[in-house]
Structure 1
Amino acid sequence: MMIHGSKFIQLLVYLIIGLQCMEFSLSGAIRCMDSERDALLTFKGGFRSGLDRFSSWKAEEDCCKWRGVGCDNVTGHVTKLDLHSPDPFDILQGEISQSLLHLPYLRSLDLSQNNFYSIPIPEFIGSLQCIKYLNLSNATFRGPIPSSLGNLSHLESLDLSGNGYSSLRAENLNWVYGLSFLKVLDLSGVDLSNAEVWLESINMLSSLVELRLFYCMLHKLPQYVHHVNFASLKILDLSDNNFNSKISDWLFKIGHSVVYLNLSRCQLQGLIPDAFGNMTSLTSLDLSRNDLKGPIPLTFGMFEKESQLNKSSSLRELYLYDNQLNGSLEQSLVQLSQLVALNVAGNDLEGNITEAHLKNFSSLRVLDLSENRLVLNVSSNWIPPFQLETIGLRSCLLGPKFPQWLRSQNNYSFIDISHASIVDVVPDWFWNLSSRVKHMDLSFNELKGNVPDFSSQLQLSLLDLSHNYFRSRLPHFSVSLRTLALAENSFFGSISHLCGILSADNSLGYLDLSSNNLSGEIPDCWKYEQNLVILNLANNNLSGQIPNSIGQLINLKTLRLDDNSLSGEVTLSLKNCIALRALGLARNKLSGNVPAWIGENLQNLMILELRSNTFSGHIPFQMCQLKYLRILDLSLNKLSGTIPRCVFFGMAKETLSLIYYPYTTYSEGFILSTKSRELKYQGILPFVTLLDLSSNNLSGEIPEEVMSLVGLWSLNLSRNHLVGPIPPNIGEMNLQSLDLSSNHLSCTMPASMTYMTFLEVLDVSHNNLSGKIPSGNQFITFESSSYMENPQLCGSPLSKICSIDELIEDPHCSNENEDGEIKAFKKKGTMASKYLHFI
C-alpha cells in the first residue's frame, strides 16, 4: 500500500507523540516529579477562591497523593487533574496558568463547574498533546473556541457544554478534523449559528459514539448526506435548535447503532417517517415539542432486536408530546408493549383504550396520555399489569366513577387526573396510596368527600384540588409544598394554621385558596415567604385588616384579596412588594385615600383593581408613573376631584394581542362593568386593556389625554359629575366598550365616533347631549337605550327627527366643525406621542 509523503509524516508525528504519551519506567519507589509538583503549585496560585480543594496540596507531600491529582503507577508522571466543583457554592475562581504545559503526560483534565469569569479558553490547552479527556463544561468561558483544540490528536472526550450563558461560540467546526479518536463530543449551549456546514465536519469523526449539540442555535439541518462516516454513533442529542424542517433522511443511515435520539424542540415539521423502523437498536426516542403531524407510525413497533430466545422491541422510551399528531392511538399501542415510558400528551390523538390494549405493558412505568381525545374504558375490577411512577391522564375521559384501578398503584410520584369528567366521592384508600407522591392534580372534576391532612406527606410539592365540590375544614399541609391550589371548592373555617407551613425553611411559591368559604382574619405570619410568587385569597369571607407582614413578600407578583370583607387602610408595607404585577383588592370595605405610593413604588403593576370599596379623596397623579398598567379599576368608591391629565403608557399601545400577563390568576375570570351590569369574561385577559372610574364623585371635563389611549379596550366613566363635551378626537380610540352615561356631558356627539369600528357597547344615556346622533358603521347596531334621557338628541335610532336648528353646531360647545373633526381624526396617533412626556 502506497502512503503519500504528507500522510506518512502525519502518521509518524502521531506515532512519536503516542510513544511519548506511553512512556514507562521500571524504577522502584515512584513519586511525582519535582518539575510537575512545581507546575501544580504554580497552577494553584492562579486561584483566589475555593481553596479548600487545595488543602492537601503541600510542597513537602507527594503530589500523587494530592486531592484531584492522579499519577501513572509505573512512571509517577501526573496523568490526571480533576478539579471540578461538586458544590455550586464552593467553586474555583481565577485563572488557568500555563504551568499545565509542564505536565507533559497529562491525559485527563477536568475543570468543569467552576467560574473563570468569562475568559476565553486558553490557546495553550491545544498543546497538551497527551490529553484524552478534556472537560471544561459549565465554567463560564466565553469567546471563540480556539482552533488549537484540533491539535489534540489523542482526544477521546471533549465537553465544552454549559458555557452558552457566557457566549462561548464557534464560527465553524473545521478544527475537529484532526480529532480522529474522538468518541464523545458535547458542545451543548455553544453558539454554532454561523457553523453552516457543521454536519460535514462532524461526519469526519468515524470513532464518534456520543454527540450532544443541545441548544446550539443551529438553524440548518441538512436533509441528505451521501455517505455517513460516523456510523458508530450511539447517542445523538440535537434538541432545542431551530431547524424548521422535516426529519432528515441521513438519520436513518446510522440507525443500526443509535441507542438514544433526542430531536425535541427543533421546530420539526411534517410526518414522522416510517424509516424509524430501521433504527433497530434505538431504546429512547424524543420527538416532543415540535410541529409534527399525522399518525404515529406503526413501524415504531418494528424496532426489533434479536435475542437467543425471541424477538422483542428494543424501544423502551417514546416521547411524542406537544405535537399535532392525530389518528388512532389504539393501533399503535399493540406494537409498543415493551415500553417503560410512553408520553404522547398534548396532541390530537383519539381512541377508546381498553384493558385489552394494555394487558401486555408489564414494564410500563411512565404513562402520559394527557390533552388528547382519549377514553380509558376499563372495568371496575381491572388490575393493571404495571406499576406506574407517572400517571398523566389529564383531559382523558375516566369518569363518571372514580378509577378503581388506581388502588393497585402504590409507587407513583406523579398523578394528574384533572379535567377527567369524574363525578364521584374520592374513596379513603386513594389518599393513602403512595407516600412517594410529589405531584397530585385532581382539579376540574366534580369530586366530593373528606380531604385529609397532608402534614405527613413530606415529598408532596404540588397539590391541586381546585374546581371540585370538596367541603371540609381547610386541611393542614407539609412545609414541602411549592404549589397549593384549592380554589373553587367549599373549604371552610380559619386559615390561621397556614402559619405551620410558612416557616423559615418552606418553599411555597404558589398559594390559591380563592372562591371557598374561608373566614376569620388573614394571619400575620408571612415574614419567611421569600419564595411566594402568587397569593390568591379572593372570594372568601375573610375579615380584619391586611396584615403588615404581607409586605415582606418581596418576590410576590400577584396578590388577590378581592371579594372579602377586609377593612381599614391599605397597609403601607405593601410598597415593599416592588415585583407586583397584579394587585386585586376589589369588593372589600377598605377605606382612606388611594395610596400615592402605589404609583411611586409598584412600578411593575399591570393590573390594579380597587373597585367597590370606600376609598375617598383625589386620584393621585402618581398613578401616571405606572407605565405598564393595562387594567385600572377604581369604580364604586367615593373619589372626587378631576381625572388626572396624563397618559397611562401601557394603555397607549395598540398591540393588545401581544400583551402577556405572567404570574396572574386573572385568566380564570375577569369582571367588566358596563351599561349598569357586571359581566364576567373568561380567558380574554391578554386582550383586555381597561380604565374604569365609574360610580364616583369625579368632576370636571374628560381630559383629551384619555383619548390618546389607543390601546384601550374598555372605557367607563359613567355615574360621575363630568361636564363639557365629549372630546372631538375620541375617534382615535380603538374601544370595544364605551360608557359615559349618567354624567352632565353636553354638546353634540363628535362625528369622529363613527370611525370606532370595533365598538360593540355604547352608553351615553342620562346626559345633556344635543344634536344629531352620528350615523354609519357600528352606530347602526346601537339601540335607543344607548341614548335615552338626552332630551336634545335626535336622529336614528331615536324617534325624534332632527330639525334644521338641531343640525347647526352650538357655538358655545366647540370651535371645530365636522370637517375639522374628521381632519383631526386623520392625524390619528399624534395625541399619544404628544402626551407621553407625562410618564
Structure 2
Amino acid sequence: MVSPTYDSIKLLFLDHYSMAISCGCKSNSNSSMQAIFFLIILLFSTRAYCDDHPHASKGSHCLESERRALLAIKSDLYNSDHWLSSWSSYDCCNWSGVACDNTTSHVIRLDVHYPFDQFASSPDKSKVNPSLFELKYLKYLDLSFNNFSTHVPSMISSLVHLEYLNLSNANFNGLIPQQLGNLSNLRILDLNCYFMQWNVRSDDLSWLSHLTSLEYLDMSYVFLFRANSWFHQINYNSLEVLALSNCSLQDAVGAGTSIMKLNSSSNQIEGNISVNAKKLKYLDLSGNSLTRVPLDMGNLIQLEYLDLQHNQITKEILLSLGNLINLEYLNLFDNEIFGEIPLSIGNLTSLIYLDMSYNAISGRIPDVLCNFVYLEEIILFGNDFYGEIPKNISKLHNLLNFEVSVNKLTGQIPLSLADLCNLEGLGLSHNNISGELTNLLDGLSKCPQGSNLQSFDITDNMFSGLIPLSLGQLAQLQYLDISWNSLQGNVTEAHLSHLTNLKHLDICHNSLNVILSDDWLPPFDAEFIDMSYCHLGTGFPSWIQTQTNLWVLFLSEVGLHGNIPGWFLDFISINSGFYLSLNSNNLNGQLPSSLPFFMDLSNNSFEGIIPLSYANVEHVGVLKLSNNHFYGSFPPFFCNFTNLFVLDLSSNHLSGEVPNCHGSYPINLNSVHMNNNNLSGSFPSALRYSKELIVLDLGGNKFSGAIPKWVGGNFPFLKFLHLSSNSFHGAIPMSIGNLPSLQILDLSSNNLIGSIPSTIANFNFMSVRQNYSDRLHFSANYSHSPGCKSCLYSPSDEMEYLLNDAIIINAKGVTNEYTTTLSAVASIDLSSNELSGEIPKEITKLRGLCFLNLSDNHLSGRIPENIDVMTELLSLDLSMNHLIGEIPLGLSTLHFLSSLNLSYNNLSGRIPTGGQLATFNDLSYIGNEDLCGVPLPKCPGDETNHSSYQARDKEDNDKLEKVLDYTFIVMGFIVGFWIYLGVIFMKKSKRITFFRMADKMYDWMYVQLSLKFAKLKLQWQK
C-alpha cells in the first residue's frame, strides 16, 4: 500500500511530540496531525527550534533524587545493562531516553521501551519500580514492548503533568484503571495490545471523557466487549487520531443506538447524535462487530483515513461517503455492504487508496472512480459488479494496483488500460471477461520506461486467441496466472525470454502447446509452476532442474510418458516441503525414495509394491497414488503419518489388513480413500483416533465384521461415509446418529441386519435445505491479494485442490460424480442389505435429503405418510422390499423428484396422479400386484364408473337441449316484439324490405347458435 499507513502516521505524529518534550519546550496544545509532508516539515522545524537537541538538558544537572529513582527503575527492567548501557555517568540528563527541563532540571522525559528489533526474543519479565512515581514532573513516558505481566499501575495517575503515555505491547493485563482519567494534560495515549491481544480490558470508558486535551488515542486490541457506551464516553473535541481496531466493539447502545440512519424521504443520511469531531483525521474501527458507523459522517470534514474492514457494516455507509471530501484512505474490506455505489462517491477526489473487497456490492464500476487522479490502488475483489471495465480508466495515471477479481464482469479489456504504465498489479480473475490479450500486452510492453507490471492474474475467464510475444517483454513480472481460459497456440522460449523476476507461473487449463527445448536455460528461478492440462510432450522437461527455489510443480495431464528421471527423484528427496502433482499421465517406474509434503501421482501406470522403506514420513501432508497398479499389503508406515491430512490409495490392488497401529496414529487425517482394493479384516481401528476426518471411503473392499459403535462418536466433522460393497454385518449402530455434519451415507451392498436406526434424524446437515451454488468459494484466509506485489504462493491457495474429493452417487441407474468443494448434495444409500422393520418416520425430518435409496432389503410397513415434507428429494428408491398400503398422495407434490422406483413391493390402491408422478412409466411401479391406475392397468370398477359417467352425461345433454329450446323461444319473442314496434313507425315500402332482412337475419342467427351449442354438447359428451 502506497498511501500513508497507520504506522507511518503514528510514527510521525508521536515523534513530533517526543521531539518537543525532549527539548524541554512547550508543545502547542492546538497543533494537529497534518499530511505527511507537513509533518516532516514540522518535525525538522521543531528540531531547529530546540537548538540543543538531542541533549536538551546539557546545560542542566540531574537531581540526585531523580537519578536514584532512574537507577531503581533500570534495575527492574529486563536486560537493561545491554540496552541502557549509557546509564552510568553522573548526569542522568544525558542518559539515553532521558531528558530534563532546562530551567528546573527535573526529568520530564523517560523512554525505556524495550528495543523492538530484540522483542522477538521474548524478554523475561520486567517490573514497574515504585520509584517511577517519584518523577512527578514527567511529561513523556514510554514503557512499551516490555514484559511486565501485571496490571496497569493505577499510580500512573499521580503523574499529572503527563502529555505523552505509551504503554503499548508491554504485556499489562486486567482492567485499565479508571484513575487514568486524572491525566487531564494527556495529549497522546497509546494502549495498543497487538502482540498481547485482549490481555487488557475495560468495561467502562467514562474516564476517557475527562481527557479534554487528548489528540491521539490508540486502544487497538484492548477488549471492550462490555463497554456498551464506548461511543458516548470518548471526548472527541480535540481528537485527531482514534484507533479502536479489533476491540470486540458492538454497536453503541442507549439513546444513540441508531447513530446513523437513512432518511427514506430524502435518501440522505441523518445522525441522531452529532459530536464535535471536526478535528478527526484518522479513524480506525476495523475488526469489530459494528453494523453502522457511530459518528455523524457529515461532521468528519477533516477525515483523511477511514478503516472499517472486518465489520458488519451495511449499505448506508455508501450513501454518506460523499461528505468525506478530504479522504485519502478508505478500507471497507469484508463487511455486509450491498447495493450500488452512489455517484456521490465522485466527491472523494483526494482518494489514494480504495478497498471495498469481500462485500455484496453490485452494479457497474462507476465511471466517476476514474476521475480520482491521485488514486493508486482500487481493490474491489469478491463483489457482484457486472458490465465492462470503465473505458476511461486511462485517466488514472498514478494507479499501481487494480484488483477486481471474483465479480461478474463481462466484455473485453479496454484498450486504454494499456496506457497505465505505472501499473504494478492487475487482477481480473474469476470473471467472464473475453477477447484477446494482444492489444493489452503489446501496449504495456511499449511504455516509455518499460512496464512496471509485477502481477498479472486473469485466471478463470473467457480469454481466447494466442499469447502475444510481447508477454516476454514485461521484465518486472513476478506473478503470472493466465490459467482456466480458452487460450491456444504455442508457448515458446520467446514468450518467457525476459521474465527474469518471475516467481509464479500458471498457464494450466488452456489449449496451449509448450515448446521448450531440452537445453533451454530459463531466465527466471521460479517458486511455483503449473502447466497442467497443456501439451508438454512425452519427455520430462529437463529445464526444471535449473529451478533451484522451486517448491510447487504441477504437471497434471500434460502427456508425460516413461520414468521420472533420477535427477528429479533426487531433487524431491532433498526438498521435504515440495508440492508435486503429476497425475493423469502415463508415468511408471520408480517412486521417489522419500516423500515430499504433497505428492499426487494418481492416474498413472506405476506398479509393484509401495516402497516399505519410507522413513521420516511425519512431515507428509498429502499422498495420492490412486488409479495405478500397486499391489501387496497396505503400507506399514501408515501409522507414522502423524501430520497426513489427505490419503488416497483407491483403485489399486492392495490386499491384507490395515495396520492396527500401537502408540503412533495418523491423528490429523481429513480425507481417506482406500476404496476399490482387496483389503480385508475388520473396520480399521487406527482410524478411531482421526477425529478430524471429513471424508472416509472404504467401499469396494472385503472388510467384514460389525461397524464399530465408536464410528458414531469419534468423527464430529465427518461429511462423507462410504462403506459400500464390503461384507460388514450386524446392525447399524444407533450411535451413527452422532454424526451431525454427515452429508453422504453409503452402507449399500453389505450384510447389515436389523432396523434402520431412528437416530438418523440427528443428521443436522440433511435436515435443512442446502444452497446448491456452483460458484467458487475462496478461503477466507486467502494469504495474499491476487494483485499483490510480493506475489508469493501459499499452501492455502491450493486448499480447494487438495480436498477435491470425488463423491459417487448412484441414482436411476446413472452414476453421478460430485465434489466436496462445489456440491452440497445430501444422500443416504442403505440398499442391498438385510434390513427389516418399518421405515422410521423420523426419516422425514431430513428435509434437505436429495437421494434416498433403501432398495433390496426386507423393509415392511407403509411409506411414511408425510414424505412430501422432504421437498428436496431428487431420487427415491424403495424397490424390492415388502412395503404395503397405498402410495402417499403427497409424492405428487415433490417438484424436484426426477427418479422414482417403488417396484416389487406389496403396495396397493390407485397410483396418485399429477405433478412429477405423471412423468414416470410403469417400471417405477411393476411388481405390485394390487397397484393400479396410470401408467399401470385401470383399477377394478373403472368400467362401471365409466357407464355411470355416460348416463350422467346423457341426462345432462337432455337438460341442455331443453335449455336451448327455451332460449330460442325467448329470443324469438324478444326479437319479434321489437320488430313489430319498429314496423308500425316505418313506411310500407320500408316495412317489406325490413321484414325480408329480419327473416334472413333470424335464420342466420338460429343456424349459428345451433352450431355453437352442438359443438358444446359434443365437448361435454366427451
Query: Under TM normalisation by the shorter chain, which class is it?
Result: 0.7 to 0.9
The answer (yes or no) to whether the contact 1:252–1:278 under 8 Å persists in 2 is no
- Which of 689, 702, 714 is residue 826 of structure 2 equivalent to? 689
Query: 1:486 aligned to 2:601?
Result: yes
Q: Which residue of 2 aligns with 1:27?
A: 58
TM-aligned CA distance change 1:425 to 1:227, over 3 Å: same
Query: 1:394 aligned to 2:511?
Result: no
- Aligned positions of 1:770-809 closer than 5 A: 770-798=908-936, 800-804=937-941
Q: Which residue of 2 aligns with 1:546?
A: 658
The answer (yes or no) to whether the contact 1:36–1:103 under 8 Å persists in 2 is no
Deviations 1:274-331 (A, max 9, x none): 565444444344444556565544444444xxxxxxxxx3333333444554554433
Q: Which residue of 2 aligns with 1:669?
A: 806
- Which of 347, 350, 356 is residue 253 of structure 1 equivalent to? 350
Query: 1:712 aligned to 2:869?
Result: no
- What 5-or-longer segments of structure 2 have no aligned partner? 1-25, 33-41, 124-145, 242-278, 353-371, 446-450, 778-798, 946-1022
TM-aligned CA distance change 1:351 to 1:638, over 3 Å: closer
Deviation at 1:718, TM superposition (A): 1.8
Q: Which residue of 2 aligns with 1:836?
A: none
The answer (yes or no) to whether the contact 1:407–1:429 under 8 Å persists in 2 is no
- Which of 692, 697, 714 is residue 584 of structure 1 equivalent to? 697
**Aligned counterparts of 2:504 and 2:686: Cα–Cα separation in 1:** 43
TM-aligned CA distance change 1:331 to 1:778, over 3 Å: same
**Which amino acid in the other structure matches residue 438 of structure 2?**
E
SS at match of 2:852: strand
Deviations 1:385-421 (A, max 9, x none): 22211112233332376798985244111122234x3
TM-score (norm 2): 0.64
The answer (yes or no) to whether the contact 2:483–2:508 under 8 Å persists in 1 is yes
**Which amino acid in the other structure matches residue 385 of structure 2?**
Q
- Which of 164, 175, 179 is residue 240 of structure 2 equivalent to? 179
SS at match of 1:779: helix
**Which amino acid in the other structure matches residue 628 of structure 1?**
S
Query: 1:728 aligned to 2:865?
Result: yes
**Aligned counterparts of 2:579 and 2:655: Cα–Cα separation in 1:** 28
- Aligned positions of 1:349-360 closer than 5 A: 349-360=462-473
Deviation at 1:647, TM superposition (A): 3.5
**Aligned counterparts of 1:630 and 1:445: Cα–Cα separation in 2:** 34
- Aligned positions of 1:41-120 closer than 5 A: 62=88, 70-71=97-98, 77-79=109-111, 81-82=113-114, 86-87=119-120, 92=147, 93-97=149-153, 102=159, 109=166, 111-112=168-169, 116=173
**Aligned counterparts of 2:624 and 2:584: Cα–Cα separation in 1:** 11
Q: Which residue of 1 aligns with 2:248?
A: none
**Aligned counterparts of 1:553 and 1:706: Cα–Cα separation in 2:** 34
**Aligned counterparts of 1:464 and 1:32: Cα–Cα separation in 2:** 72
Q: Which residue of 2 aligns with 1:758?
A: 896
SS at match of 2:672: strand
Query: 1:137 aligned to 2:194?
Result: yes
Deviations 1:41-81 (A, max 9, x none): 67998xxxxx856686999965999xx97445998842462
Query: 1:316 aligned to 2:373?
Result: no
Deviation at 1:595, TM superposition (A): 0.7
The answer (yes or no) to whether the contact 2:214–2:238 under 8 Å persists in 1 is no
- Which of 582, 591, 610 is residue 495 of structure 1 equivalent to? 610
Deviations 1:428-487 (A, max 9, x none): 4143131211222223544434333143452744222233333333324455x2x33333
Q: Which residue of 2 aligns with 1:822?
A: none
Q: Which residue of 1 aligns with 2:379?
A: 263
Larger deviation, residues 451-460 vs 587-596: 451-460
Percent identical among aligned pairs is 28
- Aligned positions of 1:255-404 closer than 5 A: 260-261=376-377, 263-265=379-381, 267=383, 269=385, 272-273=389-390, 276-289=393-406, 295-303=412-420, 313-323=421-431, 325-337=433-445, 338-346=451-459, 348-375=461-488, 377-379=490-492, 384-387=497-500, 388-399=502-513
Larger deviation, residues 643-652 vs 653-662: 653-662
Query: 1:455 aligned to 2:572?
Result: yes
SS at match of 2:537: strand
Deviation at 1:375, TM superposition (A): 3.7
Deviation at 1:259, TM superposition (A): 7.6
- Which of 536, 539, 546 is residue 648 of structure 2 equivalent to? 536
SS at match of 2:696: strand
SS at match of 2:860: strand
Q: Which residue of 2 aligns with 1:648?
A: 761
Deviations 1:499-547 (A, max 9, x none): 43413xx2x4333333332333333335564443332222222222222
**Which amino acid in the other structure matches residue 696 of structure 1?**
N
The answer (yes or no) to whether the contact 1:80–1:109 under 8 Å persists in 2 is no
Query: 1:464 aligned to 2:581?
Result: yes
**Which amino acid in the other structure matches residue 470 of structure 1?**
L
**Aligned counterparts of 1:430 and 1:52: Cα–Cα separation in 2:** 53
**Aligned counterparts of 1:37 and 1:276: Cα–Cα separation in 2:** 65
**Aligned counterparts of 2:382 and 2:227: Cα–Cα separation in 1:** 21
TM-aligned CA distance change 1:296 to 1:652, over 3 Å: closer
Q: Which residue of 1 aligns with 2:637?
A: 525
TM-score (norm 1): 0.76
Query: 1:438 aligned to 2:551?
Result: yes
**Aligned counterparts of 1:176 and 1:368: Cα–Cα separation in 2:** 50
The answer (yes or no) to whether the contact 1:527–1:553 under 8 Å persists in 2 is yes
Q: Which residue of 2 aligns with 1:631?
A: 744
RMSD of aligned alpha carbons: 4.9
The answer (yes or no) to whether the contact 2:530–2:554 under 8 Å persists in 1 is yes
TM-aligned CA distance change 1:641 to 1:287, over 3 Å: closer
Q: Which residue of 1 aligns with 2:525?
A: 411
**Which amino acid in the other structure matches residue 96 of structure 1?**
V
**Which amino acid in the other structure matches residue 94 of structure 1?**
T
TM-aligned CA distance change 1:88 to 1:55, over 3 Å: same
Deviation at 1:592, TM superposition (A): 0.9
TM-aligned CA distance change 1:318 to 1:669, over 3 Å: closer
**Which amino acid in the other structure matches residue 932 of structure 2?**
C
Larger deviation, residues 729-738 vs 591-600: 729-738
Larger deviation, residues 783-792 vs 427-436: 783-792
Q: Which residue of 2 aligns with 1:817?
A: none
**Aligned counterparts of 1:636 and 1:131: Cα–Cα separation in 2:** 73
TM-aligned CA distance change 1:40 to 1:477, over 3 Å: farther
**Aligned counterparts of 1:426 and 1:198: Cα–Cα separation in 2:** 67
Deviation at 1:108, TM superposition (A): 8.8
Deviation at 1:738, TM superposition (A): 2.0
**Aligned counterparts of 2:227 and 2:411: Cα–Cα separation in 1:** 38
- What 5-or-longer segments of structure 1 have no aligned partner? 1-9, 46-50, 304-312, 809-839
- Aligned positions of 1:540-619 closer than 5 A: 540-549=652-661, 552-619=665-732
The answer (yes or no) to whether the contact 1:161–1:190 under 8 Å persists in 2 is no
**Aligned counterparts of 1:492 and 1:118: Cα–Cα separation in 2:** 66
SS at match of 1:470: strand
The answer (yes or no) to whether the contact 2:469–2:495 under 8 Å persists in 1 is no
Query: 1:215 aligned to 2:310?
Result: yes
TM-aligned CA distance change 1:55 to 1:183, over 3 Å: farther
Larger deviation, residues 74-83 vs 342-351: 74-83
Larger deviation, residues 71-80 vs 377-386: 71-80
Deviation at 1:241, TM superposition (A): 4.4
Larger deviation, residues 378-387 vs 389-398: 378-387
**Aligned counterparts of 2:71 and 2:944: Cα–Cα separation in 1:** 96
**Aligned counterparts of 1:807 and 1:706: Cα–Cα separation in 2:** 40
**Which amino acid in the other structure matches residue 730 of structure 1?**
I
The answer (yes or no) to whether the contact 2:875–2:897 under 8 Å persists in 1 is yes
Q: Which residue of 2 aligns with 1:820?
A: none
Deviations 1:77-96 (A, max 9, x none): 42462465843977944333
